[in-house]
Structure 1
Amino acid sequence: MGGAFVAAAVLARLGARIGLPTIPLFILAGILLGPNTPGFVLIEDAHDLEMLSALGLVLLLFYLGLEFHVDDLRTGGKKMAIAGAMYLLLNVGVGFAFGLVLGWGLSEALVLAGVLGISSSAIVTKVLVDLGRIGNPETKPILGIIVVEDIFLALYLAALQPVISGSEGLAGTMAQIGKAFAFLLLLAVAARWGTTYIGRLFRIKDDELLVISFLGAAVLVAGIGEQFGVADAIGAFMVGLILGNTTSGERIRELVHPLRDAFAAIFFFAFGLSIDPGVLPAVLWPVLAAVAITITMNIIAGLVTSRIYGFGPGQTANVATTLLARGEFALILATMAAAAGLDDRLSPFIAGYVLILAVVAPLVAGRSYWLAKILPGSRPTRKADAAAAAETDAGETGAGETDADEGEPVSANR
């Protein structure tokens, strides 16, 4: 574990010198020091870091919930639901169609629908934090889409497992979906009406006790959620949503930062350990086709979201590129597919697809102003280009951001 932390830190510091984001470097460290590449092997089995990796994902989504306010759901819930539904319709639908075109089988197509259709919550959250875009106007719909995806994920997994394994009939599938939905409903009720009462339990003056309390709550609810068929990420997110709206919310945000950053590094390092780049050549062309399709559909989804919210090209580009990454969920599907005895080409395909997008997406998101220049409504003038560049530069430093269309400063700490 110490070697993993040091390796991640060294590569991240080297990357910072040349302006690279940390996510692909953490993943690269895991790939280079794992069992799937020649040379020195730091960790033989990715499962050795499984618990720490899970904690990293929980903390990332817990922090995302802290930044997402209940008022956002009340005032913009309809728009977020529409934007999230459209994103899923476009990406999941095309993913399923792509699976059918490959001709690997119906069950395989159902798996690919989720692989191509659902973003990586962990990478999206880390990109927003690293680029200082948490306070940007377009971040609300991005978070809204992630929330809708995670809710869909809980129901999708509940339905997919018995379908691909053939272990349960319709009644068993519906019972599993019902359990997942009931748990989500319970958390939603707590977020809507229980904040005041829960806030009293976390009105703690001592920082040490507050850290232990919110960390215990996030991990416990995430674990209980898994027992009900709900992804641990959505359980942690809901705890963050609830605690972020209490009187202790601001202190919790400050206290969780070092924990979030440390364990997120381990999450991405372990993510790299699980990827074998050697399997990519066997499925190279399907992988490249899937990457091209995903990029295209994310641009279309960004345009649809921006139409709903009235965003300009700069914000449209941020939406499209931030949601591009695929990650931890796709690898879960690869494991499920292997256990169910599906087509042998599925696992290497998913590994290659995830590797490319997990590395490329953060790089593209940091340079979204390139895309903004060619989107509808952009003004190809020096003034517009300068405004777009200022937007990204300000976001990367976390000091603030400039709207690429209007040139008005937007606080990064709103």
Structure 2
Amino acid sequence: MGGAFLAAAVLARVGGRIGLPTIPLFILAGILLGPHTPGVVLVGDPHELEMLSALGLVLLLFYLGLEFHIDDLKAGGKKMAVAGGSYLLLNVGAGLAFGFLLGWGTSEALVLAGVLGISSSAIVTKVLVDTGRLGNPETKPILGIIVVEDVFLALYLAALQPILSGADSLSAALVDGGKAFGFLLLLALAARFGTRLVSKLINTRDDELLVISFLGAAVFVAGVSEWFGVADAIGAFMVGLMLGSTSSGERIMKLVHPLRDAFGAIFFFAFGLSIDPGDLPVVLWPVLAAVALTLLMNVLAGLAAARIYRFDARPAANIATTLLARGEFALILATMAATAGLDSRLSPFIAGYVLLLAVLGPLAAGRSHWLARLLPGGRPPAGPGAAPKPDPEPASGPEAVSLPGTAEAVPGRR
């Protein structure tokens, strides 16, 4: 574990000097020090870091829930639903069509629909933090799309699980799906109506007790969610949604920040451990085709969201590039597909696709002004060496979005 932290830190420091994002470097550290590459093998079995990796994912989504308040859902729910629905329609639909075109099978096509259709909440959160865009106007629809994706994810997994697990009958499949949907509804009601009670239970002046309380709540609900057939990350997100609206929300954000960063790095490192570079050439062309398709669909989705929110080309480009990366959900599906005995090409395809977009996504997000020049309404470059237009100023007033990890107060944040 210590070696994993140090390797990730060293590579991230080196990459930072040449402008590379940290996420693909954490993944690269896992690949280089894993069992599938020659040289030093730091971790021989990726499952040895499975619990720490799961904790990293839980904390990343818990933090995202802290950022996204119930008030945000009520204030812009219709626009978020339309933007998120448009994103899913374009990307999941394209993923399903792509899966059938590959001809690997119906179950494989259903898995690929989710792999190509759902953004990585972990990477999106990290990109927003790294690029300093959490105060930008377009961040609210980005987070809204992530929430819609997370809700869809819970429903999708509940529907897909009986298919992949080979449920004995239709009634068994309906029971499994109903159990997941019921628990998801319970979490939503708790987040909507239980904030006042939760605030009284968790409020304390002692930081030590507060850390133990919110960490225990996030991990416990994540575990129970998984038992009910809902992704553990969704449970952690809902806990963050509840706690973010309490009187302790601001303190929790500051206290969880270093935990999120540390165990988030382990999550991406553990992902790298599972990748065997030798398997990638077999699925090279399908991976490249899928990446090109995802790029196209994200640009169209970014334009659609910009039209809904009346943004210009620059925010549209930011939306398209920030949501580009795929990650933890695709890895969950890869694990499910392997357990269900689906086509053996599926796992290396997902690994190559996710790795490539994990690299391209943060890089594209940091250079979104290039894409903005090509979009309708974008300004052409002023000439060689022209400085890119800076990101929009943070929003102010009731529509402002909070800034994690910063000291400044944000208007509109309660």
Q: Distance in 2 between matches of 1:145 and 1:93?
A: 16
Q: What SS does structure 1 have at the residue aligned with 2:374?
A: coil
Q: Deviations over 1:271-330 (max 9, x none)?
A: 111111221111111110000001100111111111111111111111101111111211
1:387 to partner: Cα distance = 7.7
2:199 pairs with 1:199: yes
Pick closer, same or farther for the CA change 1:411–1:140 going to 2, 3 Å: closer
Q: What SS does structure 2 have at the residue aligned with 1:373?
A: helix
Q: Deviations over 1:77-102 (max 9, x none)?
A: 11111111111111111111111111
Pick closer, same or farther for the CA change 1:352–1:232 going to 2, 3 Å: same
- The residue that corresponds to 1:288 in the other structure is 288
Work out the number of aligned pairs and report it.
Answer: 399
- The residue that corresponds to 1:255 in the other structure is 255
Which amino acid in structure 2 is aligned with residue 17 of structure 1?
R
Contact 1:61 1:122 in 2 (8 A): yes
Which amino acid in structure 2 is aligned with residue 197 of structure 1?
L
Q: Distance in 1 between matches of 2:151 and 2:177?
A: 11
Q: What SS does structure 1 have at the residue aligned with 2:378?
A: coil
- The residue that corresponds to 1:212 in the other structure is 212
1:166 to partner: Cα distance = 2.4
- The residue that corresponds to 1:375 in the other structure is 375
Contact 2:84 2:145 in 1 (8 A): yes
Pick closer, same or farther for the CA change 1:371–1:341 going to 2, 3 Å: same
- The residue that corresponds to 1:185 in the other structure is 185
Q: Distance in 1 between matches of 2:56 and 2:331?
A: 16
Q: What SS does structure 1 have at the residue aligned with 2:42?
A: coil
1:352 to partner: Cα distance = 1.1
- The residue that corresponds to 1:93 in the other structure is 93
- The residue that corresponds to 1:340 in the other structure is 340
1:48-127 alignment runs, 5 A limit: 48-127=48-127
Which amino acid in structure 2 is aligned with residue 93 of structure 1?
G
- The residue that corresponds to 2:397 in the other structure is none
Q: Deviations over 1:338-389 (max 9, x none)?
A: 2222222111111111111112111111111111111111122539x96854
- The residue that corresponds to 1:398 in the other structure is none
Contact 2:167 2:173 in 1 (8 A): no
Q: Deviations over 1:5-43 (max 9, x none)?
A: 000111111112112111111111001111111111100
Identity %: 75
Q: Distance in 1 between matches of 2:215 and 2:136?
A: 27
Q: Distance in 2 between matches of 1:216 and 1:292?
A: 41
Q: What SS does structure 2 have at the residue aligned with 1:390?
A: coil
Which range is displaced more, 1-10 or 159-168? Answer: 159-168
Contact 2:321 2:361 in 1 (8 A): yes
Pick closer, same or farther for the CA change 1:411–1:60 going to 2, 3 Å: closer
- The residue that corresponds to 1:175 in the other structure is 175
Q: Distance in 1 between matches of 2:149 and 2:402?
A: 27
Contact 2:298 2:321 in 1 (8 A): yes
Contact 1:136 1:411 in 2 (8 A): no
1:113 to partner: Cα distance = 0.6
Contact 1:37 1:276 in 2 (8 A): yes
1:197 to partner: Cα distance = 1.3
Moved over 4 A (4+): 385-388, 409-413
Q: What SS does structure 1 have at the residue aligned with 2:390?
A: helix
Q: Distance in 2 between matches of 1:87 and 1:171?
A: 32
Contact 2:373 2:381 in 1 (8 A): no
- The residue that corresponds to 2:264 in the other structure is 264
1:241 to partner: Cα distance = 0.8
2:299 pairs with 1:302: no
Pick closer, same or farther for the CA change 1:182–1:23 going to 2, 3 Å: same
Which amino acid in structure 2 is aligned with residue 92 of structure 1?
V
1:173 to partner: Cα distance = 2.0
Q: Unmatched 5+ residue regions in structure 2?
A: 395-399
Which amino acid in structure 2 is aligned with residue 234 of structure 1?
I
Q: Distance in 1 between matches of 2:53 and 2:164?
A: 27
Which amino acid in structure 2 is aligned with residue 207 of structure 1?
D
CA RMSD of aligned residues (A): 1.8
Pick closer, same or farther for the CA change 1:368–1:128 going to 2, 3 Å: same
Which range is displaced more, 102-111 or 165-174? Answer: 165-174
Q: Distance in 1 between matches of 2:286 and 2:217?
A: 42
Contact 2:134 2:402 in 1 (8 A): no
